[in-house]
Structure 1
Amino acid sequence: MVESKRERAFVTGVTIFLILFSIAAIVPLLSVISTSFSSKSVVDMNLVTLWPKEFTLDSWKYIIDRPDLWKSFFLTVGTTVIGTVLALLMTALFAYPLSKSEFRWGSLIMVCVVIAMIFKAPIVPYFLTVRSIGLYDNPLVLILPHILNPFNLIIMRTFFKQFPKELEEAAFLEGCGYFRMLFHFVLPLSKAVMATLALFYGVVLWNQFQHPLFFLQDTNWFPLQIKIRQFITDDSVMMAGAASTVDLNYNERTLRAATVIFAIIPIIIVYPFLQKYFVKGAMLGSVKG
């Protein structure tokens, strides 16, 4: 199929725009990475741009030796994994019946889902509600409020509506019930949308900041993002346990840069493995309403 000049010009324009946008997005990241691997003297003189100068691992050694940072890291890993699994399970159990035309209350429930997606709960009533059910200063607040998202529910429901009815009818004739149908047939054939929503839920759980800030007072339950906030805003927390000698090859700026990169490494590692499912799942979930 031969492209017209207008189509080629459009593709070229989009490509140039995406390249420029990618450069604009990656330059600040490269600057932070370079700062984390540079010595404090060149950082103090603002000589670091996109490449480390006077390369050193001292900032990373100090960060890696912080037990409080590792505690927050593993807490965040645990809540992200458990929360994502529970979120996918709840979303599937909710979306599957809503995808069936024979479900009498499906349309009404979907209206409520859309309203919940458009109109967010006010902060004060939401805070009082979460506190009233015993989640204040409770690590479960890092998981339970995030296990069902209206937008993700709509995507999964739309995907399930495209599932071949012939396969379901054949399974029902063999005596298969709805739960067995969902877990033995539908979900194994829904890897694309499951991977997409796993990424959506996982990123939200990994990066959550508002919930722990509002609901957690015990520093033992601080997730990684709150711990990073302490590192960035409180020099006493950042430099706690640091040697008092003057020949340190790191300072607050290099340590903060290393901490930020430390927090985003897991997402950067996981995303390439889910990318092939991401576009496919998002597209399949948006074809049919």
Structure 2
Amino acid sequence: MFASRGEKAFVTAITVILILVSIVAIIPLLSVISTSLSSRSAVDMNLVTIWPKQFTLDSWGYIIDRADLWRSFLLTLVTTVVGTISALLLTALLAYPLSKPEYRWGAVVMVGVVIAMIFKAPIVPYFLTVRGIGLYDNPLVLIIPQILNPFNLIIMRTFFKQFPKELEEAAFLEGSGYFRMLFQFVLPLSKAVLATLALFYGVVLWNQFQHPLLFLQNPDWFPLQIKIRQFITDDNVIIPGAVSGADLNYNARTLRATTVIFAIIPVVAVYPFLQKYFVKGAMIGSVKG
């Protein structure tokens, strides 16, 4: 089937627009990467654009040797992995019964889910509630409030509603219960939606900033994003003792750029492995209601 001239023009126009938007979006990232790989003098003279000047890895060497940054990195990594797995498990356990028409309270529960998605809790009651259950200055506050998202629950419920009933009926005839059906049949065949929601949950957990800012006081529990903020706003944190002698081939600007790239590398590294599931899962979970 051949495309008409109008369709070809439309596709060409969309392609050009997307390319231009991609270029505009990637230029700031290239600038930050170039700054992290450039010398102190080149950055001080504003010579760096999208290509490193006087290439050096001194900034990376300094950042990699920072024990406090690695502590924040590992804390964020653990909370992201544990939180994502917990969130997927809880979301699946809730979405599966809600996808069944025989669950007569499903419609009522879904109304509550939609209300929770549309109306966010006011910050002061939310803060008092989280503090009241013992999560203030507790690293679990990085996980527990994030392990269920109403929007993600709706996506997974919609996906489960499209699961072949014949397969479930055959499994039930062989003596499978609902839990066995979910964990042995449904979830192994739901890689697309699981990968999609894992990316959604993982990005939120990795990038969370408001929760640790509100609830954490102990610097040992600061996640990576809070540590990055300290690096960006306080020269005495990123360069202790204000050691800014001429023998150093880095400064606060190069170190801040290096820290930003250091923080986004894990997400960028994981995304290509989930991309093939991402589009399929998002479409399947959102087309039908």
After TM superposition, the score normalised by the length of structure 1 is 0.99
Please give the alpha-carbon distance, in whole angstroms, between the structure 1 residues aligned to 2:244 and 2:282: 52
CA distance in 1: counterparts of 2:53 and 2:108, whole angstroms = 61
Establish whether residue 232 from structure 1 lines up as the match of residue 232 from structure 2: yes
1:43-62 correspondence runs (5 A):
43-62=43-62
What per-residue deviation string (whole Å, max 9, x for no partner) do you get for residues 5-44 of structure 1?
A: 1111111111111101100110000000000000111101
Which amino acid in the other structure matches residue 140 of structure 1? L
| Alpha-carbon distance in structure 2 between the residues aligned to 1:234 and 1:98 | 49
2:20 partner amino acid: L
* Rounded Cα–Cα distance in structure 1 between residues aligned with 2:211 and 2:240: 26
Note if 1:6 corresponds to 2:36: no
Q: Which residue of 2 aligns with 1:221?
A: 221
Contact 2:244 2:251 in 1 (8 A): no
2:269 corresponds to which letter in structure 1? I
Unaligned runs of 5+ in 1: none
- 1:101 maps to which residue? 101
Counting only pairs closer than 5 Å after superposition, residues 76-87 of structure 1 correspond to structure 2 as: 76-87=76-87
Following the alignment from structure 1 to structure 2, what is the Cα–Cα distance between the partners of residues 27 and 243?
A: 31
Counting only pairs closer than 5 Å after superposition, residues 108-119 of structure 1 correspond to structure 2 as 108-119=108-119
Q: How far apart in 2 are the matches of 1:7 and 1:122?
A: 48
**2: CA distance between counterparts of 1:286 and 1:246?**
57
* Structure 1 stretch displaced more, 244-253 or 174-183: 244-253
> Which whole-Å CA distance do the structure 2 matches of 1:6 and 1:111 have between them?
44
Q: Deviations over 1:205-231 (max 9, x none)?
A: 000000000000000000000000000
Separation in 1, partners of 2:9, 2:133: 57
In structure 2, the residue matched to 1:63 is 63
- Larger displacement relative to structure 2 (239-248 or 52-61): 239-248
SS at structure 1 position matched to 2:227? helix
AA at the equivalent of 2:181: M
Tell me the CA shift for residue 287 of structure 1: 2.2
Q: What is the CA-CA distance between 1:274 and the residue it aligns to?
A: 0.3
CA drift of 1:4 comes to 1.1
Cα distance in structure 2, aligned partners of 1:128 and 1:117? 20
**Separation in 1 of the partners of 2:104 and 2:210?**
37
Residue 245 of structure 1 and its aligned partner are, at CA, apart by 3.6
Q: Residue in 2 aligned with 1:140?
A: 140
Aligned equivalents of 2:180 and 2:128: distance in 1? 39
Name the count of aligned residue pairs: 289
How far the C-alpha of 1:202 sits from its partner, in A, is 0.2
Match of 2:32 in 1: 32
Task: State the shift of 1:77 in Å.
Answer: 0.3
Partner SS, residue 240 of structure 2: coil
Alignment RMSD: 0.9
Match of 1:19 in 2: 19
Structure 2 match to 1:206: 206
Shift in Å, 1:242: 7.0
2:252 alignment partner in structure 1: 252
SS of structure 2 residue aligned to 1:145 = helix
Q: Where has structure 1 moved over 4 Å in runs of 4 or more? A: 241-244
Distance in 2, Cα, partners of 1:6 & 1:150:
41
Tell me the residue number matched to 2:160.
160
Separation of aligned partners in 1, 2:122 and 2:14: 39
1:243 CA displacement = 4.8
Against the structure 1 CA distance between its residues 38 and 181, is the aligned structure 2 distance closer, same or farther, given a 3 Å change threshold?
A: same
Structure 2 Cα separation of the partners of residues 78 and 248 of structure 1: 34
Match of 1:130 in 2: 130
- Which whole-Å CA distance do the structure 1 matches of 2:119 and 2:6 have between them? 41
Tell me if the contact between 2:236 and 2:242 (Cα under 8 Å) persists in the aligned partners. no
Greater CA drift, 234-243 or 3-12 = 234-243
Describe the superposition over 1:80-114 as per-residue Cα deviations: whole angstroms up to 9, x where unpaired.
00000000000000000000001010001101101
Task: Name the aligned partner's letter for residue 280 of structure 1.
Answer: K
- SS of 1:286's equivalent in the other structure is helix
Which letter does structure 1 place at the counterpart of 2:55?
Answer: F
Is the 2:158–2:286 contact (alpha carbons within 8 Å) kept by the matching residues of 1? yes
User: In the aligned structure 1, how far is the partner of 2:242 from the partner of 2:79?
Assistant: 30
Mean Cα deviation higher: 140-149 or 2-11: 2-11
Verify the 8 A CA contact 2:30 2:51 in the aligned structure 1: yes
Q: Is it true that 1:276 corresponds to 2:281 in the alignment?
A: no
Give the AA of the match of 2:211: H
Offset from partner CA, 1:51-101 (integer Å, 9 cap, x none): 000011110000000000000000000000000000000000000000000
